[in-house]
Structure 1
Amino acid sequence: MFKDHAKIMHAVFAAGEISGRKKLQKIIYIAKKLSFPFHEKFHFHFYGPYSEELTLRIEELCNMGYLNEVKEKKAGYYQYCYSITDSGKEFMKMHDMEIPTMEVCLVDMNDQSARFLELVSTVLYFEELEREEVAEKIFTLKSKQKYTLEEVDEAYLYIEQLKGKAKPQ
């Protein structure tokens, strides 16, 4: 059980502070799709791939004092920021799992906007479809986001860049 918790903590630690629940969900999903060792099950939701398991594990880690969750007021909404606590760092020492290529990808993903990661994760969710079908799904399912064809192309390019970074050295 705690191995999956430790992987999430490692991801948060490697990425640094992660701003937003949606962003955290997307980072873990994309990392999983890049074949990093995350086992949470995801299904398609309002904001793209979502895992109830991941939500529960994050809540448990916060309750155990291993993750810090800070609620910040933004323009008209609240955003939750996640970081590792000192207790979390101690726990991680017992569950060593250094994966350098994953750390590079996590930092890179954390530098992206939640909106872009939502697009990237949606592309990955429908990756078995032809590119045109994926774009049509995005324009239909994510119409409120008003993604452009250029942004969809950027998402595909970004996925290829991440795959290149994810390969073992």
Structure 2
Amino acid sequence: MKENRDLILWYLIKEFTKHCSRTGNKVGKKFLQKVVYLLQRKGLNLNYNFSIHYYGPYSSQLEYDIHRLEMNRLVRIDPKDGYTHEIIPEEVSDDEKYLSHHDIEMIDSKEIKDLIKNLSSFNASELELIATVDYVINQLKIRGTDELNKKEIIEKVKRLKGNKYTEKKIEEAIKFLEENGFVKIEG
């Protein structure tokens, strides 16, 4: 799975880079952490474990795999301003043939392709909010909160993020998650 996971990750970086070139967004480390988290939530199981971090859901395993892709020359990590990084896939056509039929079917399902396209329209900060809201909702469910309401979710996100996002932005993130089948929220 490890080698296939690296190839799937490389393939996802290629797909996001292609779609982001149309939206003007960049595929960086934070961006990739959030989209992989959300793709896993929709069933693309790459076996990454995520925990909450300053910028939302984060996987140290994913961070390690990104750097392994760079060491294997499948991607180039371009530091932009000393603070952000852009991850650029290298063209390595031979590696695509090593993706199994199952891997390709998993990635190329209509639901995953549509989600990749939708997520590409958001920048890293917007994805941070969407992924954090989803993470909060899932933690509430795990703790046995059956009926989720927007007010409680907004309070929990505000507690994590402070004033970084307005209530309206948090509501928009909830709406995106509802419209894309991640969650169902009561009033």
What do residues 36-89 of structure 1 show as CA deviations (whole Å, max 9, x unaligned)?
A: 22211000111110000000001001100011211112xxx43211122122x4
- In the alignment, is residue 91 of structure 1 matched against residue 102 of structure 2? no
Structure number having the greater strand percentage: 1
TM-score by length of 2: 0.77
Secondary structure in 1 matching 2:84: strand
> For residues 126 and 140 of structure 1, what CA distance do their matches in structure 2 show?
11
Query: Does residue 35 of the first structure (1) align with residue 43 of the second (2)?
Result: yes
Which of 158, 161, 169 is equivalent to 2:179? Answer: 161
Distance in 2, Cα, partners of 1:136 & 1:108: 26
Give the partner amino acid of 2:10. Answer: M
Q: Residues 1-169 of structure 1: matches in 2 within 5 Å?
A: 1-16=2-17, 18-73=26-81, 77-87=82-92, 89-96=93-100, 97-98=104-105, 99-101=108-110, 102-128=112-138, 129=140, 130=148, 131-145=150-164, 147-163=165-181
Larger Rg, first or second structure (1 or 2)? 2
Runs of 5+ unmatched residues, structure 1: 165-169
RMSD, aligned α-carbons: 1.9
Between the aligned partners of 2:78 and 2:97, the Cα distance in structure 1 is 24
| Aligned-pair CA distance for 1:161 | 3.3
Cα 1:144–1:63 shift into 2, 3 Å: farther
3-state SS of paired residue (2:168):
helix
TM-score (norm 1): 0.85
**Offset at residue 150 of structure 1 (A):** 1.4
Paired residue secondary structure (1:12): helix
Q: Say if 2:69 and 2:75, in contact at 8 Å, map to a contact too.
A: yes
Kept after mapping to 1: 8 A contact 2:154/2:171:
no
Q: Secondary structure at the match of 1:82?
A: strand
